[in-house]
Structure 1
Amino acid sequence: MVSMMPKVSDEAVAAYDAVAAGLEAAGVVRGSMFGMPCLKIGKKVVAGMFGDAMTFKLPPEALAKALQLDGVEQFDPGMGRPMKEWVKIPLDRSDVWPEYAADALEYVAR
């Protein structure tokens, strides 16, 4: 079965680029995971882009907080099973992307 990546809008790319730029000083680099753009520290993935949403690997407290926001859900890359530490935050909540990117970086870089 071939899965199709969700389409990404220019607005989402711009918001993702802003988050990526904000993390560069901390040593975060752009990469790819399962064909989707992602942000990595070393070989570990911190965040990714999935359609018009960003995904973040979060510690339990930040994950619980994120899941209380409208439209936010656990990230399921299309295999029918959500990834337990990952959350997907839609473009209409991109105002919180930098905050969760910082939480994800701190968590993954430990």
Structure 2
Amino acid sequence: MTDADTLLEEIAADLAPRGVTAGAMFGARALKSHGKAFACLKGEVLAVKLGAGTPAHAEALALAGAELFDPAGSGRPFKDWVALPADRAGHWGRYAERALDALGG
């Protein structure tokens, strides 16, 4: 298990009282609320669905190394999702919680 996997498990445990469950999305581990994914661990990157145009989305994109999430690497990223690299893991929990809030969970 990698440090990223361990951190995702910690985030899932912290958010479990809010009904968050672990699942899969894009062939990767994900966090879900009411069956809808709001965070996804792809390799050493955590992608969070913050909603394009929201303050949280803009703040996350302003972090060094953050970018729109392109799960297939096809050059067509998802506009609502921000990919946060492992060197920004200290921010993962906060943005996972904000993504859950955006989902209404």
Q: Same fold (TM over 0.5)?
A: yes
Q: What amino acid sits opposite 1:52 in the alignment?
A: E
One-letter amino acid of the counterpart of residue 32, structure 1: A
In the aligned structure 1, how far is the partner of 2:101 from the partner of 2:47?
15
Which residue pairs with 2:87 in the alignment? 92
Q: Give the aligned partner of residue 67 of structure 1.
A: 61
**What's the TM-score once normalised by structure 1's chain length?**
0.87
* TM-score, with structure 2 as normaliser: 0.91
List aligned pairs for 1:1-110, cutoff 5 A.
10-59=2-51, 60-78=54-72, 79-109=74-104
State the distance in 2 between where 1:16 and 1:102 align. 12
User: Helix, strand or coil for the counterpart of 1:69?
Assistant: coil
Whose radius of gyration is greater, 1 or 2?
1
Cα distance in 1 for partners of 2:93, 2:30 equals 14
Q: Percent of counterpart pairs with the same letter?
A: 40
Q: Which has the higher strand share?
A: 2
Unaligned runs of 5+ in 1: 1-8
**1:104 Cα deviation (Å)?**
0.3
What is the CA-CA distance between 1:44 and the residue it aligns to? 1.1
RMSD: 1.3
List 4+ stretches of structure 1 deviating above 6 A.
Answer: none
1:3 match: none
